[in-house]
Amino acid sequence: MAKLPAQGLLITDTTVEILVLNGAGGKYWVAGYAWSRLPAGVVNGGKVSDSRVLAEEIKKVAGKVKPQLKGPVVLGLPQAHVFLKGFTLPKFEGKDLEEAIAWHVNSLSPLIPDDTYTAYEIAGETGDGQIRVTLAAVQKEIVDTYVEAVNLAGVELGVIEPVVMAKTRLINPKQLWGKSVVGVHVYGGVVTASILVNGKVWFSRESSVAVGEGQVINGIVNEIVDYFVKKRDKDVPNLSEILYCGDRAGLQFIKSNLGNTALPVVVAEPGIVLKASGAVSDLEVAAMAPVLGLAMRGDLNRKEMINLVPTWLTGQGEINRWRRTAGVMVTVAAITIWLLAGVWMGFKWWWQQEADKLGLELSQVVFNAQEEQELTAWKDGFNRQVEMATAILENQTDYERVLANLAAVTPKGVKLTALVYQSAPSKWSISGVAGNREDVLVFDRELKNAQLFDGAQLYFSSLDTDTEVGFRFGGSGDDK
């Protein structure tokens, strides 16, 4: 799992749910949970119709969660809009694997059109040493409307994944290792049936169900079983059983309607055991909630797991985090300056009082040569201390002024990695990475137009590519 607390966000046609999962020492509990019913038509068939209204609803639910949300959330996408495909490739490493997968994705056109976001997950290895890959593709319009709503709500997105992945995570991995099984999950009137091979989703179907529609579950299960039998690789184990789970109504629905199958039907054990907490009252139901599966997502930065967050949003998030950090630094610096100024004023007042007192004593007492020499030495030392304190305050003020000006002129496409500044004599250096060379040139113009950096000298550290371009600026008071 990710560094806790982990946070899941689930949006359906009718509800918004947020869950905060916490843990320590291998024990887990729901630290925060809230939900709200959506106005009709805001989300219809998994498509967002009104991002602004949805954003307001997300904001309301986020405000109800205690403790408050901190850091990125994992958002689940409805299965109806996710294209999942499994395929095998020769075993590559690093960029070679990414290029091979990209080539395979391109070969699937027009099955996967250009207006889609794609991501993949490493599902394991075949018997002959090839890599088994699960590809997910979603129309950009679907993803972008969810991203817009979550951004408007002021919630940070870390991962977007098909919600079927979260539902699979709710099953105890020990029931999945080394086997091929059918996973059936019914929760909130939605049935999801999946082929799971060694705990990875191989194929999946989803549908809404209602009382009296028992034939739906049998139809979905039979459909995916037939497909698996026809497409199964030789080294993939045969289906051994059907594992089922869900809320109380879902469990009753499965028991009453899932029949006429040659496979054993076994209840699924929870993926984690929850401790009691004040956030949820029914641990048995919470343990099979899809939003919990989202919060159980592993390391948010793992490339071998499906993440449909657009690359442009990932870069924007890094810039926003840097700007928030810079803002905090400037605020702390302002407080520091204010405190130092107060100390300096007090020190200056004390020094004036001492000087006046010393002057009065000097006017009343006749010193011999030795006493006068000692007094002169004391006064010289005292004045040096005053000069040092003044220099420290002025240097601190200059540094914070540089930070504030730098934050104001840094373009969005530029990420700063180092800043070295010396006030007397004036000397500075800035290093970083930009999305492309044009961003660096824009930064160059902005610096030269700024009073503090008008002597900026640009040095490129990487020119072999137009992406991720490294750079360094330097300057000094002598350049102005």
Could you give all domains of the chain from N- to C-terminal order, each with its CATH number? 1-83+136-170+271-306 (3.30.420.40), 172-269 (3.30.420.40), 320-479 (3.30.1360.100)
What does the block give as tokens for 139? 């129309």
Look up residue 114 and give its amino acid. D
Give tens-digit pLDDT for 132-168.
889 999 999 999 999 999 999 999 999 999 999 999 9
If one compares 387 and 366, the residue with the highest pLDDT of the two is 387
At residue 429 the predicted structure's pLDDT band, cuts being 50, 70 and 90, is: confident
Mean pLDDT of the chain: 81
**pTM beyond 0.85, yes or no:** no
Residue with token string 């030392």: 381
Q: Are 86 and 133 in contact (CB under 8 A)?
A: yes
b/e map of 53-84 (b: 16 or more CB within 10 Å)? bbbbbbbebbeebeeebeebbbbbbbbebbeb
Q: Which residues are registered as beta bridge partners of 457?
A: 474
Give tens-digit pLDDT for 296-337.
986 676 777 899 999 877 644 443 444 444 454 545 555 666
Identify the DSSP state of 474: E
Neighbours of 235 (CB within 10 A): 12
Look up residue 238 and give its amino acid. N
Q: What would you measure as the largest C-alpha separation in the chain, in angstroms? A: 117
What does the block give as tokens for 462? 């990487």
How buried is residue 474: exposed, middle or buried, by Cβ count under 10 Å (0-12/13-18/19+)?
middle
Q: 29: number of CA atoms within 13 Å, CB side?
A: 10
Distance (Å, rounded) from C-alpha 49 to C-alpha 118? 23
